[in-house]
Structure 1
Amino acid sequence: MNTHRIRVGIDVGGTFTDAVAVDATTLNLLGQVKVPTSHHHEDGVAHGIVEALDRLLEQTGHTPEDVTFLAHGTTQATNALLEGDVATVGLIGIGAGPSATLTRRLAAFRKLELTPGKRLPLAYAHVADPDDAPAVRAALDAVVREGAEVVVASQPFSVDRPEGEDAVVAAAEERGLPTTAAHDITSLYGLHKRTRTAVVNAAILPRMLATADLVDASITKAGVSAPLMVMRCDGGVMSLDEMRRRPLLTVLSGPAAGVAGALMQERVSEGLFLETGGTSTDISVVRRGKVAVRHATMLGRTSYLSALDVRTVGVGGGSMVRVDGGRVVGVGPRSAHIAGLPYACFATEDDLRDAKVTMIRPMADDPADYAVLDAAGGRFAITMTCAANALGRVPEGDFARCDPAVAKAAITPLAAALGTDVATAATRLLDAGTEQVRSVVEAMTRDYRLDKDTALLVGGGGGAASVTPHLAAVTGQEGRIARHNEVISPIGVALALIREQVERIIPGAGQEQILAVRAEAEAAVVAQGAAADGVEVEVTVDPQTSTVRAVATGATELRTQDRAHRADEADRLRAAATSLRTDPASVRVLAGTPAHTVYGTEVHRRVRAVRHPGGVVDAVGVGRVHAPDARGGTCPGGRAPPGLAGRVARWRPPSTGRTPRARSARSARPGSRRLPPARRP
């Protein structure tokens, strides 16, 4: 059934704003547009967002009323920190006695370096008793006189006793000041890290509030009634109201959009996503059907911001080859875009007539070993994309595809300079470029204990064909380019789920406390628009830090009701067979629910005993669990907790010499207790 309803994803980049329309029923791509990002318009990036939306609706023949889901990703918060374009923060430290000593040290945050030579603008004032209203007003007066545009309230142990911070927040809001309480940003202990995270959030708060208001008003004026969502840095989306409270969650959200697209569109269970642009490649991990996240580093320090674990390599589709002594010595980091040169492979054969290799220094401080072509049509860059096309690695219809004859003509002068043929010269160029990517891929494979034999390499971005196919070929891993790879980021925004993470430090957490954290995360996504009957919550307990973490994800009502995009039984069986590395005929169903199916098989070894690899595949065909040796079974729901506890009690970790850091809350052994760590304020 065609509901004529669409989901719209908009990715606001530094140069262009890309928008896509996805059918809300089939999740098929219906249209895509690209407009210049409107940084200098009086309405800022909001103008470009509305322009992209208008063109998209016109292209697809839809009206604003047809939009059932609208989300956008933005690099604005990231750019604000990179450029040092932040507001002056008024930090109010709270405490008396020993606590005062701890909070007064927070004034040192004004030494944090935003950019070379520019420090975080911060004014500090202290309040001994937050219930002393005149003292609080005096502290606010003091920071405002020093230019504070936004206020942060911080007190030791506010995670447990938030009343003091709340009192300062109330007083600041009475004066019309944007305010952040440290305990509202994170509920984890650690006064310095908690406050530093809150301070960075506050520094970008005024600018992000202004943008949010402009975008909201512009979208409403355009006639869209669907609530506006914003991309988070962990691969999900949040409501605009939540972004107004915690804009920090949009920092580093650019790469998250791409991997979200790969996860939802490509149904990646286990592997690495490589998003390649013209200059660089962002590499991230999908494990058990979920993106890998970790606490991000900001301003040179770790924070409590849970963001996508993305590692960037300075190699992209436009990266230029470097030659010295008749051999390829490297690729990049300089790209054709930065050098101001066109790609040789996108010229014409006539343009490349009489081409000769010339060595240049693209920028003043670059080495003079970058090889370019001086030809009848001008000067051209020899890039990764040129080599990939020359070797036939760029598929038909790809964004980076060119005339193969032109690509070979572009590589021919380089081959002559290297004393070899075109295929070998192109291979050497791609080898040098992908070697840098390969080392990062191998490191992340080790870090996350991915099975190299089953980990899939998925390429996204306009330059995907210049990196992923060749890397897959040289490593022997399975690799593919995502469909519509050039717009995978806005597709990820359009398909992303509402997400919320709740963390609490609870020494010796019992079942009731763990369920309370779970309920809090679930309620948070429902409050932002997720359908209550479609929320999935993953809970883990880290016994070393006593951290209980609940991650809830949910879809909007229409998407939850629609089942057209779900995998059928055959699709799920094939996904299980791929994960288990066996033929679908040898895979059998061990158990199942409407949401998940457990599969298993047998592997006979000459030396070792028979093993029983098993896995769990969800309703859309994504593998969630893979075990090299497992048993499956069923039991009535009421008997599940004691039965599961018994299995956990008998379980012993494999002898890898490493101890698992986190365990599922559902498999926590009742009655077990560990000595709690020393509490930090």
Structure 2
Amino acid sequence: MTTHRIRVGIDVGGTFTDAVAVDATTLELLGQVKVPTSHHHEDGVAHGIVEALNRLLEQTGNVPEDVAFLAHGTTQATNALLEGDVATTGLIGIGTGPGAALTRRLAAFGKLELTPGKRLPLAYAHVADPDDAAEVGRAIDEVVRQGAEVVVATQPFSVDRPEGEQAVFDAARSRGLPVTAAHEITSLYGLNKRTRTAVVNAAILPRMLSTADLVDASITKAGITSPLMVMRCDGGVMSLDEMRRRPLLTVLSGPAAGVAGALMQERISEGLFLETGGTSTDISVIRRGKVAVRHATILGKTSYLSALDVRTVGVGGGSMVRISGGKVTTVGPRSAHIAGLPYACFATPEELRGATLATVRPMADDPADYAVLDAAGGRFAITMTCAANALGRVPEGDFARADQAVAQAALAPLAAALGVDVATAAARVLDAGTAQVKSVVETMISDYRLDQDSILLVGGGGGAASVTPHLAAVSGHEGRIARHNEVISPIGVALALVREQIERIIPGASQEQILAVRAEAERAVIAQGAAADGVEVEVTVDPQSNTVRAVATGATELRTQDRAHRADDQERLQVAAASLKTEPSQVKVLAGTPAHTVYGTEVQRRFRAPRHPVRVVDADGVVRLHAPDARVETTTVSLAPHVLAALVDQSTSYGDGGVRAPALRLLIGSRIADLSGVLDPQSLLALARSELRTRGADEHVIAVVEART
């Protein structure tokens, strides 16, 4: 019997574990299941993961051998920190003289507050000479005597000279202790921040190791042969072995799964993803086809953990309406779920009979201005979902869809109190709720300088219809609800790419040093199972902080999607014209590869040179690259070094801020190589040569060049 290979994504939430099966070729959703998260089972969350997997295989008619890719996302690391459920960490500082004074101060990490009244459990010992095995042994004995279950070794300048940390690491490992060396967690300078990041990683290490071993054993027992991957907080996945080394990378990974789903399934290239649940909305940015990340704040302090930039607003599908003085004042933060009240729009007409409006204090500390209905069937909450259904904003088949007539009946008492009709009352509720989201969205658009003409708002989560459609309408941006929005997170886990980020602080980095960081990132994702031919590496060099950053991504297999569903020439032209905000007759095909077509137009400006916006559209008809004003050149691999050198020279700007090479992207084969993070012209050209080194001499290369102002 011919079987289809599938990709499985499992999202372990606080209450439920969701799992999906996606066709490995077409990326079509084949099945989805939901089981209670098994926190209290002897095997912990591993039991729920295997139960979800077994039910999924049964539902889709697949067998374990059909699983080509299996990944899971978990909130366990985040919850461990939020709940203060961490291991006592033995911090061993290394150094003499001034260095010793610096490391001894790190014992103050024991004052970090995990939860109100509960501090990070920390034991400290010091080693002057890490080459003295007896002294190292005594330090390890000391922290173990104080209750340490895991050890961290830290030393000033260990990024450049890791031998001292390695000596302590080896000694602790030989005793069977879980151990972390600070230089392995991050290679960035800054003893305090580097050590704090390593200590938090170590504090959750024993619990995460235990879970990893249980999940691994359970999956193997279930007959799965494909390696198990784990969701990272930056939207990619990593191998289980890498998670065992750096469990901290799974902290804050909850929202990352949804964004990965939006990026891979919805193929957003410029816009915002809004994941709306019952109580809140997580907002994240996708810029030029990549998720926006930043160093995360953990336990109230900035860390060296690169995580998704997610901003949360306390407005969701279940957020309750608040009224005062005959007006809707705001929505939330209290939700119907927390208040223990059913949504009015999901009641029956009989249950809403005789409904009257009242205001209540849902929880003891809440203000008494939350609107509810007291009716024949009991007390009901008026929510954002009720208002969206009353206006017909919730599409057919959506998780949150209710009978529009019932929703309108639920809003009628509120409308009467406001002195308006039902549609106006519903609009005012949505206005109040989305205003809070809109404020954050506008800030993020500004922070990341998104292309205003290309912004797309995509809603995910069970409550998507209560926020995204109305926000799109009031903001003027294009908006839509993601397909299968209620399971967008496990879909994101199933579709996510292997990701690795390498950061180095290198003052005045040479071309060779930049290429070495790039190569290290590439090797790291290949070591975790990414197919070598499909790895993409984005390099950024920040001259202000002297940071060289390489982000490598790749699939665990080269996915070949069903060509039968590809867009034709006319469809791609229509997509490009819509994105360029002009008529198809005004759009020209500038260049193309088998995987991408480059379109452009000309925008005339008074008293200024015309602008030449460009869009790169893939074979699926999805805009993969926006350039507000760019030059496009086609060449071959053999001629590219000469052509690119001339292009870069012509487009490099010189000013008070120094030399700024243009933003360069190369279209090669099926890939878009983004080299826009490098400002030095010679380093940029060196990276371009490295991208072309394995290509045939006659292969076409398209350069999209944007001069920086």
Q: TM-score range by the shorter chain?
A: over 0.9
Matched residues in 1 for 2:108 and 2:357: separation? 54
Q: Tell me the amino acid that sits aligned with residue 668 of structure 1.
A: D
- Structure-2 residue corresponding to 1:167: 167
Q: Tell me the amino acid that sits aligned with residue 533 of structure 1.
A: D
> Does the CA-based 8 Å contact 2:320-2:370 persist in structure 1?
yes
Query: What is the DSSP-based 3-state SS (H/G/I as helix, E as strand, rest coil) of the residue aligned with 2:602?
Result: coil
**What are the residue-to-residue correspondences of 1:292-303 with 2, within 5 Å?**
292-303=292-303
Of residues 676, 682, 687, the one that matches 1:670 is: 682
- Structure-2 residue corresponding to 1:501: 501
1:616: how far off? 3.5
Query: What is the DSSP-based 3-state SS (H/G/I as helix, E as strand, rest coil) of the residue aligned with 1:557?
Result: coil
> Does the CA-based 8 Å contact 1:258-1:489 persist in structure 2?
yes
> Does 2:71 match 1:71?
yes
Matched residues in 2 for 1:648 and 1:306: separation? 31
Matched residues in 2 for 1:633 and 1:211: separation? 52
Matched residues in 2 for 1:472 and 1:656: separation? 40
1:641: how far off? 4.2
**What are the residue-to-residue correspondences of 1:102-251 with 2, within 5 Å?**
102-251=102-251
- Structure-2 residue corresponding to 1:365: 365
Q: Tell me the amino acid that sits aligned with residue 680 of structure 2.
A: A
Gap change, CA 1:564 and 1:187, over 3 Å in 2:
farther
> Does the CA-based 8 Å contact 2:273-2:286 persist in structure 1?
yes
> Does the CA-based 8 Å contact 1:352-1:410 persist in structure 2?
yes
> Does the CA-based 8 Å contact 2:511-2:683 persist in structure 1?
no
Matched residues in 2 for 1:87 and 1:565: separation? 51
Matched residues in 2 for 1:188 and 1:413: separation? 59
> Does 2:469 match 1:469?
yes
Matched residues in 2 for 1:415 and 1:592: separation? 56
Structure with a larger share of its residues in strand: 2
Matched residues in 2 for 1:283 and 1:538: separation? 24
> Does 2:502 match 1:484?
no
Matched residues in 1 for 2:67 and 2:161: separation? 43
> Does the CA-based 8 Å contact 1:534-1:560 persist in structure 2?
no
- Structure-2 residue corresponding to 1:412: 412
1:63: how far off? 1.1
Matched residues in 2 for 1:174 and 1:588: separation? 66
Q: RMSD in angstroms over aligned alpha carbons?
A: 2.3
Gap change, CA 1:473 and 1:561, over 3 Å in 2:
closer
- Structure-2 residue corresponding to 1:677: none
- Structure-2 residue corresponding to 1:385: 385
1:660: how far off? 8.1
Matched residues in 2 for 1:620 and 1:537: separation? 23
Query: What is the DSSP-based 3-state SS (H/G/I as helix, E as strand, rest coil) of the residue aligned with 1:633?
Result: strand
**Which sits farther off after the overlay, 556-565 or 108-117?**
556-565
> Does the CA-based 8 Å contact 1:229-1:240 persist in structure 2?
yes
Task: After superposition, give the CA deviation of every residue in 1:566-610 in whole Å (9 maximum; x if it has no partner).
Answer: 766555544433443333443333334455543322223455433
> Does 2:556 match 1:544?
no
- Structure-1 residue corresponding to 2:667: none
Q: Tell me the amino acid that sits aligned with residue 669 of structure 1.
A: P
Task: After superposition, give the CA deviation of every residue in 1:153-188 in whole Å (9 maximum; x if it has no partner).
Answer: 111111111111111000000111100011101111
> Does 2:97 match 1:97?
yes
1:476: how far off? 1.2
Query: What is the DSSP-based 3-state SS (H/G/I as helix, E as strand, rest coil) of the residue aligned with 1:147?
Result: coil
Matched residues in 2 for 1:383 and 1:659: separation? 54
- Structure-1 residue corresponding to 2:350: 350
1:459: how far off? 0.3
Gap change, CA 1:345 and 1:671, over 3 Å in 2:
closer
- Structure-2 residue corresponding to 1:523: 523
Task: After superposition, give the CA deviation of every residue in 1:327-371 in whole Å (9 maximum; x if it has no partner).
Answer: 111100000000001111111000000011111111110000011
Matched residues in 1 for 2:212 and 2:682: separation? 46
Matched residues in 2 for 1:575 and 1:511: separation? 39
> Does the CA-based 8 Å contact 2:11-2:489 persist in structure 1?
yes
Matched residues in 1 for 2:535 and 2:189: separation? 28
- Structure-2 residue corresponding to 1:612: 612
Matched residues in 2 for 1:571 and 1:359: separation? 52
**Which sits farther off after the overlay, 413-422 or 399-408?**
413-422
**Which sits farther off after the overlay, 265-274 or 651-660?**
651-660
> Does 2:586 match 1:586?
yes
Matched residues in 2 for 1:191 and 1:332: separation? 42
Task: After superposition, give the CA deviation of every residue in 1:100-140 in whole Å (9 maximum; x if it has no partner).
Answer: 11111111111111111111111111111111000000000
- Structure-2 residue corresponding to 1:6: 6
Gap change, CA 1:658 and 1:472, over 3 Å in 2:
farther
1:29: how far off? 0.5
Task: After superposition, give the CA deviation of every residue in 1:417-444 in whole Å (9 maximum; x if it has no partner).
Answer: 2121111111111111000000000000
> Does the CA-based 8 Å contact 1:3-1:25 persist in structure 2?
no
- Structure-1 residue corresponding to 2:706: none
- Structure-2 residue corresponding to 1:43: 43
Q: Tell me the amino acid that sits aligned with residue 507 of structure 1.
A: P
Matched residues in 2 for 1:135 and 1:657: separation? 51
TM-score (norm 2): 0.91
- Structure-1 residue corresponding to 2:289: 289
Matched residues in 2 for 1:166 and 1:564: separation? 54
Q: Tell me the amino acid that sits aligned with residue 118 of structure 2.
A: K
> Does the CA-based 8 Å contact 1:267-1:620 persist in structure 2?
no
Q: Percent identity?
A: 81
Gap change, CA 1:147 and 1:469, over 3 Å in 2:
same
**What are the residue-to-residue correspondences of 1:13-52 with 2, within 5 Å?**
13-52=13-52
Query: What is the DSSP-based 3-state SS (H/G/I as helix, E as strand, rest coil) of the residue aligned with 2:26?
Result: coil
Matched residues in 2 for 1:51 and 1:405: separation? 39
> Does the CA-based 8 Å contact 1:321-1:382 persist in structure 2?
yes
- How many residue pairs get matched? 672
Query: What is the DSSP-based 3-state SS (H/G/I as helix, E as strand, rest coil) of the residue aligned with 1:559?
Result: coil
Gap change, CA 1:143 and 1:229, over 3 Å in 2:
same
Query: What is the DSSP-based 3-state SS (H/G/I as helix, E as strand, rest coil) of the residue aligned with 1:33?
Result: strand
> Does the CA-based 8 Å contact 1:288-1:623 persist in structure 2?
no
Query: What is the DSSP-based 3-state SS (H/G/I as helix, E as strand, rest coil) of the residue aligned with 2:263?
Result: helix
**What are the residue-to-residue correspondences of 1:270-349 with 2, within 5 Å?**
270-349=270-349
1:49: how far off? 0.7
Q: Tell me the amino acid that sits aligned with residue 489 of structure 1.
A: S
Matched residues in 2 for 1:49 and 1:452: separation? 41
1:632: how far off? 1.2
Gap change, CA 1:659 and 1:304, over 3 Å in 2:
farther
- Structure-1 residue corresponding to 2:58: 58
- Structure-2 residue corresponding to 1:447: 447
Matched residues in 1 for 2:31 and 2:45: separation? 21
> Does the CA-based 8 Å contact 2:534-2:558 persist in structure 1?
no
- Structure-2 residue corresponding to 1:602: 602
1:99: how far off? 1.0
Matched residues in 2 for 1:460 and 1:542: separation? 33
Matched residues in 1 for 2:68 and 2:562: separation? 13
Task: After superposition, give the CA deviation of every residue in 1:357-415 in whole Å (9 maximum; x if it has no partner).
Answer: 11111111000001111110111111000000000000111000011111111111111
Gap change, CA 1:525 and 1:491, over 3 Å in 2:
same
Query: What is the DSSP-based 3-state SS (H/G/I as helix, E as strand, rest coil) of the residue aligned with 1:610?
Result: strand
- Structure-1 residue corresponding to 2:253: 253
Query: What is the DSSP-based 3-state SS (H/G/I as helix, E as strand, rest coil) of the residue aligned with 1:176?
Result: coil
Q: Tell me the amino acid that sits aligned with residue 200 of structure 2.
A: V
> Does the CA-based 8 Å contact 2:272-2:285 persist in structure 1?
yes
1:646: how far off? 4.3
Gap change, CA 1:429 and 1:240, over 3 Å in 2:
same
Unaligned regions of 5+ residues in structure 2, if any? 664-674, 685-709
Matched residues in 2 for 1:566 and 1:149: separation? 54
- Structure-2 residue corresponding to 1:422: 422
> Does the CA-based 8 Å contact 1:87-1:206 persist in structure 2?
yes
- Structure-2 residue corresponding to 1:679: none
> Does the CA-based 8 Å contact 2:180-2:198 persist in structure 1?
yes
> Does the CA-based 8 Å contact 1:648-1:667 persist in structure 2?
no
> Does the CA-based 8 Å contact 2:659-2:680 persist in structure 1?
no
Matched residues in 2 for 1:459 and 1:658: separation? 41
Matched residues in 1 for 2:447 and 2:78: separation? 26
Gap change, CA 1:225 and 1:82, over 3 Å in 2:
same
Task: After superposition, give the CA deviation of every residue in 1:219-246 in whole Å (9 maximum; x if it has no partner).
Answer: 1111111111100000000111110000
Q: Tell me the amino acid that sits aligned with residue 374 of structure 2.
A: D
Which one scores higher on RCO, CA 8 angstroms, separation ≥ 6? 1
